[in-house]
Amino acid sequence: MWRMLKAKSEEEIALVRESSLLVGKTLAEVAAEVRPGVTPLDLDKIAYEFIHDHGAVPGFLNYQGFPNSLCISRNEAVVHGIPTKKPLEEGDILSVDCGVLMNGFYGDSAYTFKVGEVDPDVDRLLETTKRCLQLGIEQAVAGNRVGDIGYAVQQEAESNGYGVVRELVGHGLGRELHEAPEVPNFGRRGKGPKLVEGLVIAIEPMINLGTREISQLRDGWTIVTADRKPSAHYEHTVVVRKGQVEVLSTFDFIEEKLKIEA
Ligand code: MG
Ligand code: MG
């Protein structure tokens, strides 16, 4: 039997909502600066300052020794990339993962940005990964099971010929950045722990253009695809509700910026 998952109170959910909103706004600040010549470290600094200016602290900085505020994973990097001084180039993709801790609660969200024009195959990977996230989110309703989320993500990714990363998964969150349950991006319908109303989880498909196999760089953090083909990552923090999920983080600020900048 699965352990019953713990729901959060509406007061706790309100605090996760505030933190998640700040994450969305921080990613929008980053979005406005993604262009050739800018370095990932520049983007990290923008996020650090913006988060501090809003009375929060970066959720990833010093987390298990992580050295920066953002995880910035470029092209073949899947997740957990350490921001570098290497300038962005036209055609790169950049998965930016942001967490904040405010009033004792975390928010967590990620978005994959294009640096200028990208290869059509890569563009299609990004669109599909975002759709995987959406399909996964739609399954996060009370009474469903964790496997329903993973199944929806996996079906969409694999039917498009992409690899679904197995080793890294979504998660519950709240007072801790990572809480129960694990939320894999693969699974079987009707399997896994039951989703209860008020459960807060981060859903975060990591989808590879080629093989699902990954490896870790010698920096001890960066996860890359085994075949070095590109990988995309989108993430939302959501709360399980009856009938329809509530998405706590948002891409609205990001996509508004991308429209203006375009
Ligand atoms: Mg994240
Ligand atoms: Mg996460």
Question: Which of 224, 187, 178, 232 lies closest to 205, judged by CA?
Answer: 232
**pTM of the prediction?**
0.97
Q: Tell me the C-alpha to C-alpha distance, in Å, between residue 172 and each of 82, 199, 210, 237, 261.
A: 23, 8, 28, 9, 34
pLDDT of residue 88: 98
| Residue 205, CA atoms < 13 Å, CB-side half-sphere | 32
Domains and CATH numbers, the chain: 10-261 (3.90.230.10)
Q: Are 233 and 205 in contact (CB under 8 A)?
A: yes
For each of the chain's 262 residues, which pLDDT tens digit applies?
566 789 999 999 999 999 999 999 999 999 999 999 999 999 999 999 999 999 999 999 999 999 999 999 999 999 999 999 999 999 999 999 999 999 999 999 999 999 999 999 999 999 999 999 999 999 999 999 999 999 999 999 999 999 999 999 999 999 999 999 999 999 999 999 999 999 999 999 999 999 999 999 999 999 999 999 999 999 999 999 999 999 999 999 999 999 865 5
CA of 178 to the centre of ligand 1 (A): 10
Q: What is the DSSP letter of 91?
A: T
Q: Tell me the C-alpha to C-alpha distance, in Å, between residue 146 and each of 5, 101, 234, 245.
A: 11, 25, 18, 13
Residue 1: both structure tokens together:
């039997």
CA of 203 to the centre of ligand 1 (A): 9
Dihedral pair phi/psi, residue 221, rounded to 5°: -125, -60
CA of 214 to the centre of ligand 2 (A): 18
CA of 69 to the centre of ligand 1 (A): 11
pLDDT of residue 261: 59
Dihedral pair phi/psi, residue 4, rounded to 5°: -65, 130
Question: Which of 75, 128, 139, 69 lies closest to 100, judged by CA?
Answer: 69
CA of 140 to the centre of ligand 2 (A): 16
- Which amino acid is it at 165? V
Q: Tell me the C-alpha to C-alpha distance, in Å, between residue 228 and each of 57, 122, 211, 212, 213.
A: 33, 13, 9, 11, 10
pLDDT of residue 262: 54
